[in-house]
């Protein structure tokens, strides 16, 4: 593959870290420099000759620096097809010399948004000239190498050293340039209020390869920066399945204001409790299913104290998440180095969910509404007691965050049994009752939550036999009356929320 020597390079970068070594190698190879503003000054201070872009264009930088490179003398030099005789003739007529290397590092728009800057400052960080230079150079990759990000500087050094400026290299860099351009534009679109309800436009350039996907024979990647949401204290690398569970745990715990602990396995809660103290919340969450808790994800909405840490440390878990750790607690928990400790930061996450399906994608708003009690209706003659209402409120949250079909049984703000991911609601209920009894709980006086309506009265009949005294469900079945009549005849109260919470 034939190497193309660099004759003239246009260099206009915001971040100059790592640029010095590239300039040194280019200068040694006889490349001429054209530059703008701060980059021009940087090159001069290194002792290299540089042509100001104003010399080419005949215009100074105007409009507060908004217009510098937007001129035929610049873009003609980049877009001229040196292999085309007509282009060469036109360039000669207008005294335009070709440019065969473009190095641009764009204004940091995304970082400026994240910094909380005011709108005026953010708008000025929308790069116009730079993005145009990148697109022009990428379009003309047959003649021009485009370097569109500071992360490529080291690679460019190698290309210069090894004389590998081939058309294959330039085409690869052009592809990366259009990715840079696309990501940059997507961030601007999102800042202006663009969302997935309008078009599926998503760009996350922070990719991390995972050990594998759901199973060892599958490749897996995480796109995003987990450090934006958590501070991580040691432990092994988070896996694909860990990340799914962490996401499910975070969505669940954010529902609670009172002191709560949840333990999750395969995206489902196997233990949850609300208590006045954290250590009691932990003990009662664990009691809900101590078998499934082994190797699970533990999350709480309170700072973990030393007393609670001593109890949690007795269990083998994969990940422990909390808004904070007391010093002694952290020191104790870190002694088991493979376990992942995560401090949750104050952050906003996307209000949209998306997944690939068939030859496209499904996109939906997240299910962010849970207990809108103003829409609740007591469908039965008897009303739930205040204690039952508290448990129904609690159980309905858990049903929302458990795989469908699901039934959740709760008592005294504690998960005592759940049926998850079943193909029938009756099977889910029987599973929940069986688990409740297996771990020594009494279902008498407990409440039941269903993520969707009861198509028949069989579920409330089974609930009655188990001693369940209150039920919460969305309603909406053509046979709702059958379930209501049974509850009326058996002294069971029932609330209909009017809101289904499928989780497939």
CATH number for the domain spanning 125: value is 3.40.50.1380
On whether the pTM is more than 0.85, the answer is no
Residue among 127, 103, 124, 88 at smallest CA distance from 20: 103
| Confidence bin at 462 (pLDDT 50/70/90) | very high
Q: Are residues 378 and 333 in the same domain?
A: no
Instruction: State whether residue 206 is helix, strand or coil.
Output: coil
Q: Is the dihedral of CA 235, 237, 238, 239 positive or negative?
A: negative
Q: 325 and 464, same structural domain?
A: no
Structural domain containing residue 473: 373-496
Quick one: pLDDT at residue 18? 87
Query: What digits encode the pLDDT tens for the residues 380-400?
Result: 999 999 999 999 999 999 999
pLDDT, tens digit (0-9, with 9 covering 90-100), for 56-108: 777 787 787 787 778 888 888 899 888 888 888 888 888 888 899 999 988 88
For the domain that residue 273 is a member of, what is the CATH number?
Answer: 3.40.140.20
Among residues 25, 139, 310, 437, which one is catalytic?
Answer: 139
Residue 389 within a domain: yes
Same domain, 178 and 247: no
Active site residue 149: no
Longest alpha-carbon distance in the chain: 97
User: In total, how many domains does the chain have?
Assistant: 3
* Confidence band of 1 (pLDDT split at 50, 70, 90): low
Residues 247 and 187 in one domain: no
437 classed as catalytic: no
Task: Tell whether 204 is covered by a domain.
Answer: no
Catalytic residue among 24, 266, 283, 437: 266
Same domain, 22 and 155: yes
The Cα–Cα gap between 113 and 193 comes to 13
* 113 half-sphere exposure, CB direction, 13 A CA radius: 13
Does residue 482 contact residue 458 with C-beta atoms inside 8 Å?
no
Residues with Cβ within 8 Å of 16's Cβ and at least 6 positions away in sequence, in order, are 38, 39, 42, 105
**pLDDT digit string, tens, across residues 117-141:** 898 998 988 888 889 999 999 999 9
Could you tell me if residue 366 is inside a domain? no
Give the range with max mean pLDDT: 120-124, 163-167, 269-273: 269-273
203-210 contacts: CB < 8 A, separation 24 or more? Answer: 205/179, 210/237, 210/238, 210/239, 210/240, 210/243
How confident is the model at residue 89, as a pLDDT? Answer: 86
Give per-residue pLDDT as tens, 225-235: 898 899 999 88
Report helix, strand or coil for 122.
helix
**361 is a domain residue:** no
């Amino acid at each position: 593959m034939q190497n193309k020597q660099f004759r003239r390079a246009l260099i206009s970068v915001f971040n100059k870290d790592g640029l010095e070594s590239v300039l040194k190698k280019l200068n040694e190879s006889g490349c001429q420099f054209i530059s703008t503003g701060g980059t021009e000054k940087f090159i001069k201070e290194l002792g290299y000759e540089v042509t100001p872009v104003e010399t080419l264009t005949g215009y100074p930088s105007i409009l507060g620096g908004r217009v510098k490179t937007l001129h035929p003398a610049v873009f003609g030099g980049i877009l001229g097809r040196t292999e085309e005789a007509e282009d060469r003739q036109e360039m000669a007529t207008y005294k335009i010399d070709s440019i065969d290397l473009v190095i641009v590092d764009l204004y940091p728009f995304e970082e400026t948004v994240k910094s909380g800057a005011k709108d005026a400052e953010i708008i000025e960080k929308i790069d116009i000239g730079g993005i145009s230079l990148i697109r022009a150079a990428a379009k003309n990759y047959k003649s021009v190498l485009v370097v569109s990000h500071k992360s490529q500087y080291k690679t460019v050094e190698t290309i210069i050293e090894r004389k590998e400026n081939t058309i294959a290299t330039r085409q690869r860099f052009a592809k990366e340039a259009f990715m840079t351009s696309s990501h940059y534009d997507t961030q601007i679109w999102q800042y202006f209020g663009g969302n997935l309800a309008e078009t599926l436009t998503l760009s996350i350039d922070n990719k991390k390869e995972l050990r594998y996907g759901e199973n060892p024979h599958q490749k897996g990647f995480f796109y995003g920066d987990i450090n934006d949401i958590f501070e991580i204290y040691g432990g092994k690398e988070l896996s694909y399945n860990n990340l799914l569970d962490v996401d499910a745990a975070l969505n669940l715990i954010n529902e609670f204001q009172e002191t709560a602990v949840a333990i999750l396995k395969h995206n489902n809660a196997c233990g949850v409790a609300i208590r006045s103290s954290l250590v009691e919340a932990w003990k009662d969450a664990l009691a809900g299913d101590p078998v499934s808790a082994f190797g699970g994800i533990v999350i709480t909405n309170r700072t973990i104290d030393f007393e609670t840490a001593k109890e949690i440390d007795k269990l083998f878990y994969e990940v422990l998440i909390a808004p904070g750790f007391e010093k002694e607690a952290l020191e104790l928990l870190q002694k088991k180095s493979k376990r992942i400790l995560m401090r949750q930061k104050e952050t906003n996450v996307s209000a949209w969910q998306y997944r690939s399906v068939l030859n496209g994608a499904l996109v939906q708003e997240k299910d962010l509404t849970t207990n809108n009690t103003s829409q609740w209706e007591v469908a039965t003659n008897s009303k739930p007691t205040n204690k039952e209402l508290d448990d129904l409120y609690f159980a309905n949250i858990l049903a929302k965050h458990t795989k469908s079909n699901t039934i959740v049984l709760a008592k005294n703000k504690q998960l005592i049994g759940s049926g998850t991911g079943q193909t029938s609601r009756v099977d889910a209920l029987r599973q929940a009752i069986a688990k409740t009894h297996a771990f020594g709980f009494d279902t008498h006086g407990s409440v039941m939550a269903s993520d969707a309506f009861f198509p028949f009265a069989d579920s409330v009949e089974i609930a009655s036999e188990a001693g369940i005294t209150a039920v919460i469900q969305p309603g909406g079945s053509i046979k709702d009356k059958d379930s209501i009549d049974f509850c009326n005849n058996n002294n069971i109260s029932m609330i209909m929320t009017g809101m289904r919470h499928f989780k497939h």
